[in-house]
Structure 1
Amino acid sequence: MRINFRVFIRTLSSGGRLPPVKLTYQNMLKDPSIKYPPPKHINLPNRTWPNKVITKAPRWLSTDLRDGNQSLPDPMSVAEKKEYFHKLVEIGFKEIEVSFPSASQTDFDFTRYAVEHAPEDVSIQVLTQSREPLVRRTVESVKGAKKAIIHIYLATSDVFRDVVFGMSKEDAISKAVETTKLVRSLTKDDPSMNETEWNLEFSPECFSDTPVEFAVEICEAVKKAWEPTAEHPMIFNLPATVEVAGPNVYADQIEYFCTHITEREKVVVSTHCHNDRGCGVAATELGILAGADRVEGCIFGNGERTGNVDLVTVALNMYTQGIAPELDFSDLESVIEVSERCNKINVHPRAPYGGSLVVCAFSGSHQDAIKKGFSKAEERVKKGDIRWAMPYLPLDPKDIGRNYEAVIRVNSQSGKGGASWVILRSLGLDLPRHLQVAFSTLVQHKADSLGRELLTEEICQLFTNEYLHKSDPFHLVDFNITKVKDDREIKAVLASSTGEVTISGQGNGPISAFVDALSNKFGILFEVVNYSEHSLGSGSSSKAATYVELSYLNSNDKRVSKWGCGIHTDVSQASIEAILSVVNSLIDSKEISI
């Protein structure tokens, strides 16, 4: 849509009506390069970052309360900012950017709260523009802090200097040095302020679109004005304010800066990646490989436009590679709860690690692989091997406070592994494969009829109703087994609403004898097709779970089969209960007449 915005604004301000607007649409360009030139690549023939690996956690800075908060449609209240601040401290952040203190009295007051309540090892960082009254107000806001970082910034990209500020490179350097000297005079050079450990962070804003030679030049001038030491290095934050190229280009820019800035031991190089191209995490990780020491970002990636880098993802990516991130997400659910409530933005269900669905498998093949993975893991743990090797799950959900019940969820797309996993985790019943297949068909039909996934309780109830201890119309009162030559004879008492009945039969064991007794009772030839059993629990009081597949001739003289399950401390009675459950199901479905 094309609108003359000058006419639009002028008309609105005069209270008049807008003239009719003709809407026109433009298709995507066949040759976008005429409008969007490719990014400028860095001449770095001896780049080293591709051959490096991350071996330790960087320094972390959370800017949720500043960059994150300013991006919210409804900014956090003071109470919400306080709660969020304490959650960040609990997670383990040692550097927290809390506000733009000169922006409002609310931000100033919250900064004072953070100063008064921050642990001694936590640095309070505040942001200011390069204007003297704002700098003075900002320094005043953190007076008395144990550790404080004054963060100043200046746009250095050609497009911002030329288009927005009309500022030459020399003007930009002069302004950056002037502001640095002002901050220095108000902080570390002022004897009355020596109770605070002061530090300076300088950001050449839009570093990602700034010629790297100029970025180094302006930072050299700032460093000379601040005079950092190896014991107290200053921070150069190199932001991808707008992500204009691939993460490999950003890594080249970082490595160029790290290898060209002088007195490297006196500076901390920090990344601050936005996510315009969806590569914020990748750019951050490559930036660390390229030499960055510090990472700025937000929990779950909240931030201006497409967001800041997601610190949860960066940290847990390290964790799943065996690197301690030095941030504690053991109770990730509480972090999600605070973030969603205070930001009023939900974590996307598919967000890495934090999403509600990322540890869930609905696909049958995925579920089967995960179920087998857990079985193998149990075998390894018994041998003392706790290494995590799980199909589709790079992180053990329990490490971030989630349970295994959420790993497999069942809908109409799920296979036999999904439903059987739920039964195993909820009821302790390890279903034999053929029963898994039969039960999964029932589950899929149920999910289809409801048009949604089934809850754990619904799946367990469906299994119980269909297979387990189905005691209507007949239930077992008592039974007795005696030896007759090489066989076994059973006499069983069954009770129903019409009274008790005694049945008898013979076979080579209790199961075959009871099946014979039922065949005699109902005049139908039953046969055991499959039998399986396992113990539930351990010790002398443990129970046995038995699974019996019983075949019979239906009314069309076709041999079909059905499963039953029984549980009892006596394995023979558990088997009898399983067989009786099958017969009761057949009576209920009118396959058998009483």
Structure 2
Amino acid sequence: MSDRLFIFDTTLRDGEQVPGCQLNTVEKIQVAKQLELLGVDVIEAGFPISSPGDFHSVIEISKAVTWPTICALTRAVQKDIDVAADALKFAKHKRIHTGIGTSDEHIKYKFNSNREEIIERAVAAVKYAKKYVEDVEFYAEDAGRTDNEYLARVIEAVVKAGATVVNIPDTTGYCLPSEYGEKIKYLMEHVDGIHNAVISTHCHNDLGMATANTMAGVLNGARQVEVTINGIGERAGNTSLEEVAMILKCHKHIGIDTNINTQKIYPTSRMVSSLMNMPVQPNKAIVGRNAFAHSSGIHQDGVLKNVQTYEIIDPHDVGIDDNSIVLTARSGRAALKNRLHVLGIDLPQDKLDKVYEDFLKLADKKKDINDDDILLLAGADRSQNHRIKVDYLQVTSGVGVHSVASLGLSIAGEKFEDCASGNGPVDAAIKALKKIINRQMTLKEFTIQAISKGSDDMGKVHMQVEYDGHVYYGFGANTDIIAASVEAYVDCINKFKLD
């Protein structure tokens, strides 16, 4: 059994299935290159048959990345596999990831099938994929709720058919760590030829046990883990790459190594958070804002005497430099460029100049600029080509008076303006926006988050707006939370078609 653990990152596939967090191809390439720097062994680049965008992204990521294996997801369907193979044609190292549900729930309700037919379809898919690539991974969807004896039969059949990796997903996040560990152990002991393939874990966090289940799998013989940056993913998310990597780094006695350059963890986390407009919770392990913060007097005293009293991880080991340069209005382009580089972003000169202009404007509004502010500024150019833009916003509000907002929009170059009163400044501003757009839209969700602390901080606003039977997701960021709210609503509107 190898003491090398392979890291399979599915941020760009499973992670990108989070509503409102979709990336364009350029952004996906940016993330893929950062994952390469991080040391990820396998990048699951997408599900090619699902959309032209996913197909194109897999092609371009294959061209952009050098040494990691590029993986494409399919169902156990020949057409899926054909399209995946075509998308992977430029990959230096390619893998097709095919599979089918194996739990009784999936067999009966999803496929209206039986156990023997599922094994036949699984074997056929692996053999078909093997015609295109040598490296074929098979996933037994909902393996977490599949009884071990039948699961072992499926895995043995696909290994004999040529699968090089067998993925055992806890698709619903249902398993206890002891149960999941026993499942991996059972496969190691009961599948003939299992040592001809690598067992992979793919755990979801519905009950908060994704990382625990993953580690239980590793301790019982799994040698690939399927993870995402920041633990993002459908529903409650996936196993966090950073948690698995640092568990193994801290518990050296386990004797299992990864190829991860842990000092790239923090900048990678911040890049993904910024590009996907998905905040990292402050108390998130390893990469959260409070992960290395100590507020208790007893803790502070202990840390000042010896950092190891309350910290098992050196912040520098995950790329957090507590002596980093503080950026202010007096910082020059070189300091900004250097900080962007540390955060994994290298901009051409023209874009750097634009970001620097925006940086100076922001620096005039707040004392210190943090990494999240910089990442937001670096990503702001994504909205430059939007059809609808905010020209101006003026709001009057206070105690004992009605809030009134005046708003000016540029729609395809034509100027529009209107005003409205409302129950508070945000309500007034959105009502003015709706009067200009004049469409039946419904605000479904409205979330405000301050990036750090302080009254001068950048505020992030996430919105969901329903229009014509579809829900659209928008994002805005500004030191003025009312302006950020309008920007988020406009971001939603720019994503659906107006007559």
TM-score range, shorter chain: 0.5 to 0.7
User: 2:476 matched to which residue of 1?
Assistant: none
Contact kept in structure 1, 2:96 and 2:135, CA below 8 Å: yes
Q: In the TM superposition, what is the alpha-carbon distance from 1:393 to its structure 2 partner?
A: 0.5
Name the CA distance, whole Å, in 2 between partners of 1:55 and 1:291: 9
Candidates 258, 262, 268, aligned match of 1:335:
268
Distance 1:351 1:128, change over 3 A: same
Whether 2:11 is the aligned partner of 1:71: answer no
Candidates 108, 116, 120, aligned match of 1:170:
116
Distance 1:225 1:155, change over 3 A: same
User: 1:556 matched to which residue of 2?
Assistant: none
Name the CA distance, whole Å, in 2 between partners of 1:220 and 1:68: 29
SS of 2:95's equivalent in the other structure is: strand
Name the CA distance, whole Å, in 2 between partners of 1:137 and 1:266: 27
Distance 1:108 1:403, change over 3 A: closer
Name the CA distance, whole Å, in 1 between partners of 2:90 and 2:323: 49
- Partner amino acid for 1:183? A
Larger radius of gyration: 1
SS of 1:65's equivalent in the other structure is: coil
Distance 1:264 1:222, change over 3 A: closer
Q: In the TM superposition, what is the alpha-carbon distance from 1:55 to its structure 2 partner?
A: 9.7
Tell me which of the two structures has the higher relative contact order, counting C-alpha pairs closer than 8 angstroms and 6 or more residues apart: 2
Candidates 189, 206, 211, aligned match of 1:259:
189
User: 1:360 matched to which residue of 2?
Assistant: 293
Name the CA distance, whole Å, in 2 between partners of 1:138 and 1:400: 34
Name the CA distance, whole Å, in 1 between partners of 2:262 and 2:272: 13
- Segments of 5+ residues of structure 1 without an aligned counterpart are 1-53, 189-197, 229-233, 375-389, 407-454, 457-594
Contact kept in structure 2, 1:81 and 1:342, CA below 8 Å: no
SS of 2:135's equivalent in the other structure is: strand
SS of 1:66's equivalent in the other structure is: coil
Whether 2:224 is the aligned partner of 1:294: answer yes
Name the CA distance, whole Å, in 1 between partners of 2:166 and 2:209: 21
Q: In the TM superposition, what is the alpha-carbon distance from 1:105 to its structure 2 partner?
A: 1.2
Whether 2:19 is the aligned partner of 1:58: answer no
Name the CA distance, whole Å, in 1 between partners of 2:208 and 2:272: 21
Name the CA distance, whole Å, in 2 between partners of 1:236 and 1:279: 21
SS of 1:318's equivalent in the other structure is: helix
User: 1:213 matched to which residue of 2?
Assistant: 149
Distance 1:403 1:142, change over 3 A: closer
Whether 2:61 is the aligned partner of 1:114: answer yes
Q: In the TM superposition, what is the alpha-carbon distance from 1:137 to its structure 2 partner?
A: 1.0
TM-score by length of 1: 0.52
Q: In the TM superposition, what is the alpha-carbon distance from 1:118 to its structure 2 partner?
A: 1.9
Q: In the TM superposition, what is the alpha-carbon distance from 1:57 to its structure 2 partner?
A: 4.5
Candidates 349, 361, 364, aligned match of 2:282:
349
Name the CA distance, whole Å, in 1 between partners of 2:3 and 2:126: 31
User: 1:128 matched to which residue of 2?
Assistant: 74
SS of 2:172's equivalent in the other structure is: coil
Contact kept in structure 2, 1:57 and 1:318, CA below 8 Å: no
Q: In the TM superposition, what is the alpha-carbon distance from 1:56 to its structure 2 partner?
A: 4.2
- Segments of 5+ residues of structure 2 without an aligned counterpart are 325-366, 369-499
- Partner amino acid for 2:105? V
User: 2:363 matched to which residue of 1?
Assistant: none
Contact kept in structure 1, 2:73 and 2:98, CA below 8 Å: yes
Q: In the TM superposition, what is the alpha-carbon distance from 1:136 to its structure 2 partner?
A: 0.9
Name the CA distance, whole Å, in 2 between partners of 1:247 and 1:392: 26
Name the CA distance, whole Å, in 2 between partners of 1:153 and 1:55: 25
Contact kept in structure 1, 2:28 and 2:61, CA below 8 Å: no
Name the CA distance, whole Å, in 1 between partners of 2:91 and 2:291: 40
Name the CA distance, whole Å, in 2 between partners of 1:328 and 1:347: 21
- Partner amino acid for 2:305? K
Name the CA distance, whole Å, in 1 between partners of 2:319 and 2:78: 47
Whether 2:81 is the aligned partner of 1:81: answer no
TM-score by length of 2: 0.62
Contact kept in structure 2, 1:276 and 1:305, CA below 8 Å: yes
Contact kept in structure 1, 2:205 and 2:237, CA below 8 Å: yes
Contact kept in structure 2, 1:239 and 1:271, CA below 8 Å: yes
Q: In the TM superposition, what is the alpha-carbon distance from 1:132 to its structure 2 partner?
A: 1.8
- Partner amino acid for 1:364? G
Q: 1:88-167 counterparts in 2 under 5 A?
A: 88-119=35-66, 121-167=67-113
SS of 1:316's equivalent in the other structure is: helix
Candidates 176, 191, 194, aligned match of 1:246:
176
User: 2:347 matched to which residue of 1?
Assistant: none
Contact kept in structure 2, 1:301 and 1:307, CA below 8 Å: yes
User: 1:183 matched to which residue of 2?
Assistant: 129
Candidates 225, 244, 249, aligned match of 2:161:
225
Identity level (%): 29
Whether 2:326 is the aligned partner of 1:326: answer no
Contact kept in structure 1, 2:7 and 2:258, CA below 8 Å: no
Whether 2:338 is the aligned partner of 1:402: answer no
SS of 1:348's equivalent in the other structure is: coil
Candidates 188, 195, 199, aligned match of 1:269:
199
Q: 1:359-438 counterparts in 2 under 5 A?
A: 359-374=292-307, 390-404=308-322
Name the CA distance, whole Å, in 2 between partners of 1:265 and 1:319: 26
Contact kept in structure 2, 1:72 and 1:343, CA below 8 Å: no
Contact kept in structure 1, 2:99 and 2:125, CA below 8 Å: no
Question: Alpha-carbon deviations, 1:295-315, whole Å to 9, x = none?
Answer: 011011001111100010110
Contact kept in structure 1, 2:49 and 2:80, CA below 8 Å: yes
Q: 1:571-586 counterparts in 2 under 5 A?
A: none
Q: In the TM superposition, what is the alpha-carbon distance from 1:326 to its structure 2 partner?
A: 2.0
Q: In the TM superposition, what is the alpha-carbon distance from 1:404 to its structure 2 partner?
A: 4.6
Name the CA distance, whole Å, in 1 between partners of 2:296 and 2:277: 31
SS of 2:263's equivalent in the other structure is: coil
Contact kept in structure 2, 1:156 and 1:215, CA below 8 Å: yes
